[in-house]
């Protein structure tokens, strides 16, 4: 059975769709990967369509979109056939997002290292705790070092929450790769973004064992 990672965070623009795509591509170098888009906005589905025609797309990543009562059965199907299933969720905890969190081996919560993003994560953290799901926060668009980032790291640690030990910086490379249906590890395998992403993906895998 594959591992299910639900990428969730009520804050829009935190990087859910970006991280789902980037991690999917990085993990696709090591196993079979599927993405499930349950956000009605469908950005990940568009990325998947771009990917179909992208010559640099080195790995196969299946992208499915589904909602409502079909979600549970689709997820079962994908879990049986893939090593990793990443779910991109909408910025609300609706019934579909609940289903995704319930089904997840890990709930990955992207956030900018700033208090409003942690506040926005509370609903997801609470639901994951109720469902006894493992969670990990991950800093996205993070400055290398800032007083606020240190403060957030301390607060997350003091609360006993898990923070992915590798943060993703704000890099044009992520947005450019996404716009071409790619991951940074494909668009520019020797870039800083790719190094950072590979390190983050390795840390993510460690959380899944």
Ligand X SMILES: Nc1ncnc2c1ncn2[C@@H]1O[C@H](COP(=O)(O)OP(=O)(O)O)[C@@H](O)[C@H]1O
Residues that bind Mg ion (CB under 5 A): 16-17
Question: What is residue 208's three-state secondary structure?
Answer: helix
- Phi and psi at residue 181, in whole multiples of 5°? 75, 25
Q: Applying CB under 6 A, does 17 fall inside the site for ligand X? A: yes
8 Å CB contact between 16 and 142: no
- Give the position of tokens 């589904």: 66
How far is it, in rounded angstroms, from Cα 16 to Cα 119? 16
Q: What is the DSSP string of 44-97?
A: HHHHHHHHHT-TT--S-EEEEE--TTHHHHHHHHHHHH-SEEEEE--SS--HHH
- Residue showing the smallest CB distance to Mg ion in the complex: 17
Q: Applying CB under 6 A, does 34 fall inside the site for ligand X? A: no
Considering the complex, state which of residue 42 and residue 91 has its C-beta at the smaller distance from ligand X.
91
Q: Applying CB under 6 A, does 124 fall inside the site for ligand X? A: no
Q: Applying CB under 6 A, does 12 fall inside the site for ligand X? A: yes
Q: Could you tell me which stretch among 27-35, 154-162, 165-173, 195-203 binds ligand X (CB under 6 A)?
A: 165-173
Considering the complex, state which of residue 3 and residue 11 has its C-beta at the smaller distance from Mg ion.
11
8 Å CB contact between 174 and 110: no
Residues 39-98 that bind ligand X (CB under 6 A): 43, 91
Size of the site for ligand X (CB under 6 A): 17
CB of 9 to ligand X, least distance (A): 6
Task: List interacting residues with ligand X (CB under 6 A).
Answer: 12-18, 43, 91, 140-141, 168, 170-171, 174-175, 178
């Amino acid at each position: 059975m594959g591992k299910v990672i639900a990428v969730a965070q009520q804050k829009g623009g935190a990087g859910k769709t970006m991280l789902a795509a980037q991690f999917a591509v990085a993990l696709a170098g090591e196993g079979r990967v599927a993405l499930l888009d349950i956000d009605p906005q469908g950005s990940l589905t568009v990325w998947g369509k771009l990917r179909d025609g992208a010559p640099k797309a080195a790995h196969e990543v299946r992208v499915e979109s589904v909602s409502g009562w079909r979600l549970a059965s689709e997820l079962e199907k994908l879990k049986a056939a893939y090593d990793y299933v990443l779910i991109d969720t909408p910025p609300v905890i609706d019934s579909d997002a609940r289903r995704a969190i319930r089904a997840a081996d890990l709930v990955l919560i992207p956030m900018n290292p700033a208090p409003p993003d942690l506040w926005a994560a509370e609903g997801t953290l609470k639901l994951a705790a109720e469902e006894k799901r493992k969670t990990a926060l991950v800093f996205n668009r993070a400055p290398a070092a800032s007083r606020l980032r240190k403060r957030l790291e301390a607060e997350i640690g003091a609360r006993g929450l898990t923070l992915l030990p590798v943060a993703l910086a704000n890099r044009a490379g992520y947005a450019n790769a996404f716009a071409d249906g790619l991951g940074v590890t494909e668009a520019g395998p020797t870039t800083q973004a790719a190094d950072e992403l590979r390190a983050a993906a390795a840390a993510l895998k460690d959380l899944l064992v």
